[in-house]
Amino acid sequence: MKHRTLTRRQMLIRGTVAFGGLALGACDRLTNSPSFAEVLRSAEQLTYRAQRALVGNNALAREFSDDDLSPTFRSNGTDAPDSEEYRRLAQAHFQDWQLKIDGLVALPLNLSLAAMRLMPARTQITRHDCVEGWSAIGKWTGVPLASVLNVARLSPRARFVVFHCADSLEKGEDPYYESIDLIDALHPQTILAYELNGRALPIANGAPLRLRVERQLGYKHAKYVMRIEVVEHLNAIQGGKGGYWEDRGYEWYAGI
């Protein structure tokens, strides 16, 4: 048998591989450490502040033309809410559905789909960017959220608008929810959409009503919206991070 001694090059290579392995293990341990996770999370505040400072509050997301529409608008998350109540509403073409607006407002409201269709509408062809990486372009028609909030009149304490939805991603889990700040809530392109590509919003895309908040990623665009609640703090709602995915580690500010 040949006697083996390590050359300097072999030692370097082995050392590098061993160091690499250690470093990777360390990254995984750090990911699971709550205090390190807090350090990583600090970047979100920096991103939020930087983007709010650099991008005007009313700067518009790009709008596209009919030629740019995606052949099919992809659906992610829930395809159809799995609840008795939702099925009953859907069967009646949402004629009995009402959007509830409450919380820190002077005038709590219940709006039917017919009432919302009578309000001034906005149509916009925009790009939907999923956090996974894909983008689809769709044409949305709906009521600007600002119009609804103006009718309900925000309390001076109002800071966030929360959207409570009809769907649960896993059976038995709390329903989906999302929240945005007032800058995005009052943005002209933030609409409660009831139409996609000129037709009633399909169930897979959030019927009867979904949020469009065009300067953020897809998971902020709550589907199957049942109730809009205006609040001062988010910590009392479900996991306290302001949204279903936020409670599972994703950024509350999804502008990037």
Partner 1 sequence: MLAIYRHTLATRLLHWINALCVFVVLMSGLQIFNAHPNLYWGKSGADPELAAFEITSKNSPQGDRVGLLRAGKHQFNSTGVLGVSHDGSERAFPDWATIPGERFLAAGRRWHFFFAWLLVINSAVYFAVSLARGHLKRDLLPTRAELSPSHLIRDFWYHLQLKFPSGEAAKHYNPLQKITYLGVLFILAPTILASGLAMSPGMDAGFPWLLDLFAGRQSARTVHFICAALVIFFIAVHLIMVLLAGPLNELRSMITGRYVLPAKKNE
Q: What is the binding site for partner 1 (CB under 8 A)?
A: 9, 12, 23-24, 27-28, 31, 37, 39-44, 46-47, 51, 54-56, 59-62, 64, 68, 70-72, 74, 127, 129-137, 214-217, 245, 248-251, 255-256
- Please identify, using beta-carbon distances, which residue of 37 and 92 lies nearer to partner 1: 37
- Please identify, using beta-carbon distances, which residue of 36 and 123 lies nearer to partner 1: 36
- Please identify, using beta-carbon distances, which residue of 129 and 229 lies nearer to partner 1: 129
Output the smallest distance, CB 235 to partner 1, in A.
19
Output the smallest distance, CB 98 to partner 1, in A.
31
Output the smallest distance, CB 187 to partner 1, in A.
9
What backbone torsions phi and psi does residue 38 show, to the nearest 5 degrees? -60, -40
Calpha distance 74→176 (Å, rounded): 19
Calpha distance 233→162 (Å, rounded): 10
- Name the pairing type of β-strands 160-165 and 225-231: antiparallel
Burial 211-236 (b: 16+ CB within 10 A, else e): bbbbbbbbbbbbbbbbbbbbbeebee
Output the smallest distance, CB 206 to partner 1, in A.
16
- Please identify, using beta-carbon distances, which residue of 94 and 176 lies nearer to partner 1: 176
Calpha distance 47→151 (Å, rounded): 32
